């Protein structure tokens, strides 16, 4: 990747990920798949599950590297499926009402951003009452709703499109993106900091071209469905496809978005563990 102008690195660099969740959409025991990238104390959230403040609090009981809801100001959103995006409403309200209206920055490809408001957030967030609280008790419900002000996506979030075939600046990371094979527009990415690189597949069918895109990363976070008979296997990655990769690539792969039934004890590939911190080396 071509370095982004203006980025500087400390010789004693910290580049790591902390895992918020590892589960697929049907998990009963894990949080949904998401993680925080820590680049010298600046945090970038990758995807945004619901209940983010609770997840962060639970995570910090296991390993506390300083992640707090108020420090989540940069979010990479890979696609709009609920397990990856339902927390955006909550973090936007958290910032608006508990952090003085601070707007987090959401980074995604244009195909995702064009539906973020109209197809995802608008129905729940389009109106806000900003009048005096003592007036609420005097108003019939219909009148109260009439007094709610219309708001837009830009009142809650700043959005920055990620472009293909170039290096994008995301917080203090250098990011390249690639479309992946899923039901809805979705992208994987590689993020570089201080000469090291993290790769992420997001949700995808196994794609050798994506592997080729990620193969030079120092750590590759890849989704995985262990169940050959799974009804949703067709749009996720078969564990056995990953097993056939060269050893040099397999050694760098860490699995995420796996089912509750995944056989962690016998897996030949490493499975990410919730709340744990992994250095990118």
Is the pLDDT score of 2 beyond 50?
Answer: no
Lowest mean pLDDT among 36-45, 104-113, 126-135: 126-135
Q: What mean pLDDT comes out for the span 66-82?
A: 97
Per the prediction, the chain carries an average pLDDT of 93
Q: What integer pLDDT is reported at residue 6 of this predicted model?
A: 47
Is the pLDDT score of 261 beyond 50?
Answer: yes
Q: Per-residue confidence at 226, pLDDT binned at 50, 70, 90?
A: confident
Tokens of 157: 């979030």
Percent of the chain's residues with pLDDT above 70: 93
Dist. CA 32–CA 78, nearest whole Å: 14
Lowest mean pLDDT among 49-53, 152-156, 189-193, 229-233: 229-233
Query: Looking at domain 15-279, what is its CATH homologous superfamily?
Result: Ribonuclease Z/Hydroxyacylglutathione hydrolase-like (3.60.15.10)
Q: What integer pLDDT is reported at residue 12 of this predicted model?
A: 57
Is the pLDDT score of 253 beyond 50?
Answer: yes
Buried b (16+ CB within 10 A) or exposed e, 6-38: eeeeeeeeebbbbbbbbbbeebeebbbbbbbbb
Q: What integer pLDDT is reported at residue 228 of this predicted model?
A: 59
Dist. CA 33–CA 115, nearest whole Å: 21
Dist. CA 117–CA 200, nearest whole Å: 25
Domain positions in the chain are 15-279
């Amino acid at each position: 990747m071509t370095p982004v102008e203006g980025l500087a690195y400390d010789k004693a660099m910290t580049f790591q990920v902390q895992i918020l969740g590892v589960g697929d959409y049907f998990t009963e025991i894990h949080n949904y798949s998401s993680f925080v990238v820590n680049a010298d104390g600046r945090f970038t959230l990758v995807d945004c599950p619901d209940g983010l403040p609770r997840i962060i609090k639970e995570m910090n009981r296991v390993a506390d590297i300083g992640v707090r809801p108020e420090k989540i100001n940069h979010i990479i959103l890979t696609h709009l499926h609920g397990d990856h995006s339902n927390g955006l409403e909550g973090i936007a309200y958290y910032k608006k009402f508990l952090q003085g209206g601070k707007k987090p920055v959401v980074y995604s490809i244009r195909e995702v951003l064009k539906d973020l408001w109209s197809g995802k957030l608008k129905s729940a967030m389009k109106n806000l009452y900003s009048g005096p609280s003592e007036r609420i008790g005097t108003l019939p419900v219909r009148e109260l709703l009439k007094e709610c002000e219309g708001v837009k996506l830009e009142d809650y979030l700043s959005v920055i499109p990620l472009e293909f075939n170039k290096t994008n600046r995301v917080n203090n990371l250098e990011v390249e993106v690639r479309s992946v094979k899923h039901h809805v527009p979705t992208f994987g990415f590689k993020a570089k900091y201080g000469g090291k690189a993290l790769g992420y597949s997001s949700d995808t069918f196994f794609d050798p071209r994506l592997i080729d895109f990620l193969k030079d990363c120092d750590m590759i976070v890849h989704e995985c469905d262990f169940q050959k008979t799974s009804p949703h296997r067709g749009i996720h990655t078969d564990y056995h496809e990953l097993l056939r990769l060269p050893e040099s690539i397999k050694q760098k792969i860490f699995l995420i978005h796996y089912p509750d039934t995944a056989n962690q004890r016998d897996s030949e590939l490493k499975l990410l563990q919730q709340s744990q911190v992994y250095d990118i080396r």
